[in-house]
Structure 1
Amino acid sequence: MNSVFKALSDPTRRKVLELLRERPMTAGELSAQFPVSRPTMSAHFNVLKEADLVDAERRGTTVTYRLKLTVLEDALLGFAQVFGFKLPSSKEDQK
């Protein structure tokens, strides 16, 4: 869970996740959205991969990133439980 919150602590990485919510994108497409160098973006991508928040698929020289929403959901649910929030785990629990 620490790696997830480390990844989420940076506004650039949060914006990358927001963009990936719309659709998978290549590293070049994502990098074009930010006024930073490609090596800086590569470092952000590595943090997101280490936190298991994104999948990276390489085809030749192109890397396509996809959001792994279930990992983010699990981390946020775990965080909420640390503070004593009881969240329903299924539709049956919500009845």
Structure 2
Amino acid sequence: MSNVFQALSSPVRRKILAFLSEASLTAGEIAGKFEMSKPALSKHLSILTNAGLISSEKKGQFVHYCLVKENLFASMNDFLVDFCPEGKPLKVESHAIAKEQRDME
């Protein structure tokens, strides 16, 4: 459980969780939203994955990341993002991306 709290202690990782709240995204799509190096983003994604808050799935040549809805902490964070001035716009954007993804299928 300490790795979950460690993962949630970072504002950047909480924002990544908000961005993944509705949509499955590649590391490149996530990196496009945050101003950080790819190695730094990879470390954040690794910490979130190791904490069980997100999962990854290889689709073709890309790895897609998504929120693990069954994880209680991920679900609580997803709920609390609705009240966060920084996280809510990311969740709204994630919802729009998820809608586009569904429309393309």
- Distance, in Å, in 2 between the alignment partners of 1:35 and 1:25 is 16
- Distance, in Å, in 2 between the alignment partners of 1:15 and 1:69 is 16
Query: 1:10, CA displacement in angstroms?
Result: 0.6
Aligned residue identity for 2:37: S
**Runs of 5+ in structure 2 lacking a partner?**
77-105
Q: Computing the radius of gyration over CA atoms, which structure comes out larger, 1 or 2?
A: 1
Aligned residue identity for 1:34: F
Equivalence map 1:4-23=2 (5 Å): 4-23=4-23
Question: What RMSD over aligned residues (CA atoms) do the two structures have, in Å?
Answer: 1.9
Question: Is the CA contact (8 Å cut-off) linking 1:4 and 1:72 kept in structure 2?
Answer: no
- Superposed CA offset, 1:67-92 (max 9, x none): 0122134896xxxxxxxxxxxxxxxx
Partner of 1:39: 39
Give TM-score scaled by structure 1 length.
Answer: 0.72
Query: 1:21, CA displacement in angstroms?
Result: 0.7
State, as a whole percentage, how many aligned pairs show the same letter: 41
Give TM-score scaled by structure 2 length.
Answer: 0.65
Query: 1:59, CA displacement in angstroms?
Result: 2.6
Q: Whose RCO is larger (CA < 8 A, sep 6+)?
A: 2
- Distance, in Å, in 2 between the alignment partners of 1:54 and 1:46 is 9
Change in 2 beyond 3 A, CA 1:9/1:24 = same
Aligned length, in residue pairs: 76
Question: Is the CA contact (8 Å cut-off) linking 1:52 and 1:68 kept in structure 2?
Answer: yes
What secondary structure does 1:12 align onto? helix
Question: Is the CA contact (8 Å cut-off) linking 2:4 and 2:53 kept in structure 1?
Answer: yes
Question: Is the CA contact (8 Å cut-off) linking 1:4 and 1:75 kept in structure 2?
Answer: no
- Distance, in Å, in 2 between the alignment partners of 1:74 and 1:15 is 12
